[in-house]
């Protein structure tokens, strides 16, 4: 949609999604700290928290936290396994509701999405009225709450949806965009991590407004190209559009380590997890891809990418991991520690588009059978139930 037109971007974020479903379905869990994820006892403390209720968050528990730490902070909590089949079914109910408001939807996960209602809000009244109607229907039809942000840009909409959780609704008017952004903590900038925040704090930049008023050349010297991007976002410049499924150009995932590292177990474990996440998303969306890109950010915020294009498209974990590891092993860090790793696959095609009467490959068929079995296990028992047998899971 041309930027000359008024743009109304919506970010819908379900509140503590997995835990809220469990509390909805079992009244005995309401008001209790519910932690959904790995078993803290039977799994030997390995695995992470997938989602936790707001009651659990009062103990400092959050998503992606090691389950062993969550158990130490809240041993009296109710720890439940991931029931992905149930959560996916509820997710589809929610997306069916959202598609009643616009076809311009970008799925950002099982429990969140961006919508562009610029061309459809008039069917329901005002942009704000459209969002309130969304919230009302989600609550009425699923008995779950969503927090919604409405803004002229994707970043502002995402920030807005997080400000008044749970069951929040925040509207950002275009003429007031900078008034909304500038008082916020600089950590709210999309893609700006803890290390970057610390680096900015060290030079007196604490709010988004402080960042916006900084000389862009100083930021580029400090962060490279990322500095220019941070400056633009701080000044309300965000040209990213809502990408529908048919417009998806790539699928990616990233991990930022708690501490910069050269530990091969940690980096290899990260590549495994990233490959699994990318593969899972592709298989869920019925996609394959040919170009695998590895993103490496070293200490000092220097970022590099390396790519390799396969002869035929894939969505197999083993294939993605194999090429990502080769790219990593061929990269020279010159003794600098790794801060972030990312895996992206592009050059996408529909999964069935590659099949012909003459394309039978017994090796691919066997691998497809294995991968399908893994998909079923993960769907039934959760994403932590089975992993590619290599490396150690990273501490992120």
pLDDT tens digit sequence for 305-323: 999 988 889 999 899 999 9
> Average pLDDT, whole number, for the chain?
85
CA contacts within 13 A on the Cβ side of 194: 9
Per domain, the residue ranges of the chain are 1-181, 188-234, 248-381
Q: What is the pLDDT of residue 222?
A: 83
CA distance 107 to 102: 13
pTM value is 0.67
Instruction: Please tell me which residue, 65 or 70, carries the higher pLDDT value.
Output: 70
Tell me if 1-181 shares its fold with 248-381: no
Q: What is the pLDDT of residue 369?
A: 57
- Residue 279 CB partners (closer than 8 Å, separation 6+): 315, 316, 317, 320, 371
Q: What is the pLDDT of residue 139?
A: 97
Q: What are the residues facing 376 on neighbouring strands?
A: none
Instruction: Please tell me which residue, 173 or 363, carries the higher pLDDT value.
Output: 173
CATH of domain 1-181: 3.30.70.270
What is the secondary structure of 208-231 as a DSSP string?
HHHHHTS-HHHHHHHHTHHHHHHH
Report whether CATH 3.30.300.30 matches the domain 188-234: no
Q: What is the pLDDT of residue 306?
A: 93
Q: What is the pLDDT of residue 64?
A: 78
Q: pLDDT band at 26, cuts 50/70/90? A: very high
Q: Please say whether the beta carbons of 84 and 99 come within 8 A.
A: no
**CB neighbours of residue 319 within 10 Å:** 21
Q: Say if residue 289's pLDDT is above 80.
A: yes
Q: What is the pLDDT of residue 153?
A: 96
CA distance 33 to 3: 44
In order of 114, 218, 237, 240, 243, the CA distances from 234 in angstroms are 20, 15, 7, 14, 22
Q: What is the pLDDT of residue 395?
A: 46
Residue with tokens 């061929």: 330
CA distance 17 to 346: 29
Q: What is the pLDDT of residue 314?
A: 92
Q: What is the pLDDT of residue 370?
A: 55
Q: What is the assigned CATH class of domain 248-381?
A: alpha beta
Residue numbers annotated as active site: 112
């Amino acid at each position: 949609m041309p930027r000359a037109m008024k743009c109304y971007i919506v970010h819908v974020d379900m509140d503590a999604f997995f835990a809220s479903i469990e509390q909805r379905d079992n009244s005995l869990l309401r008001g209790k700290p519910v932690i959904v994820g790995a078993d803290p006892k039977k799994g030997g403390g390995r695995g992470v928290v997938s989602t936790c209720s707001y009651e659990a968050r009062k103990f400092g528990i959050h998503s992606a936290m090691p389950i062993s730490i969550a158990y130490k902070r809240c041993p009296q909590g109710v720890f439940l396994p991931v029931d992905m089949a149930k959560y996916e079914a509820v997710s589809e109910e929610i997306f069916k509701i959202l598609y009643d408001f616009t076809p311009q939807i970008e799925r950002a996960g099982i429990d969140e999405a961006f919508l562009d209602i610029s061309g459809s809000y008039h069917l329901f009244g005002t942009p704000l009225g459209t969002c309130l109607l969304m919230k009302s229907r989600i609550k009425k039809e699923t008995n779950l709450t969503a927090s919604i942000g409405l803004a002229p840009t994707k970043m502002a909409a995402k920030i807005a949806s997080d400000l008044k959780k749970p069951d929040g609704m925040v509207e950002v008017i275009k003429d007031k965009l900078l008034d909304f952004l500038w008082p916020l903590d600089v950590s709210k900038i999309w893609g700006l991590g803890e290390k970057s925040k610390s680096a900015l704090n060290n030079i007196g930049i604490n709010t988004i407004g402080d960042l916006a008023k900084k000389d862009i050349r100083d930021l580029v010297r400090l962060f490279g190209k990322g500095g220019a991007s941070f400056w633009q976002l701080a000044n309300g410049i965000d040209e990213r559009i809502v990408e529908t499924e048919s417009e998806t150009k790539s699928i990616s995932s990233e991990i930022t380590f708690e501490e910069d590292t050269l530990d091969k177990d940690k980096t290899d474990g990260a590549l495994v997890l990233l490959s699994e996440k990318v593969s899972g998303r592709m298989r869920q969306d019925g996609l394959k891809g040919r170009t695998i890109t590895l993103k490496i950010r070293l200490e000092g915020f220097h970022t590099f990418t390396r790519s390799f294009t396969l002869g035929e498209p894939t969505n197999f974990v083993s294939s993605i991991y194999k090429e990502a590891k080769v790219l990593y092993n061929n990269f020279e860090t010159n003794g600098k520690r790794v801060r972030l790793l990312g895996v992206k696959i592009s050059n996408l095609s529909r999964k069935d588009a590659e099949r012909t009467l003459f394309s039978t490959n017994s090796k691919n068929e066997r691998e497809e059978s294995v991968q399908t079995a893994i998909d079923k296990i993960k769907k039934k028992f959760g994403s932590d139930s089975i992993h590619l047998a290599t490396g150690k899971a990273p501490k992120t």
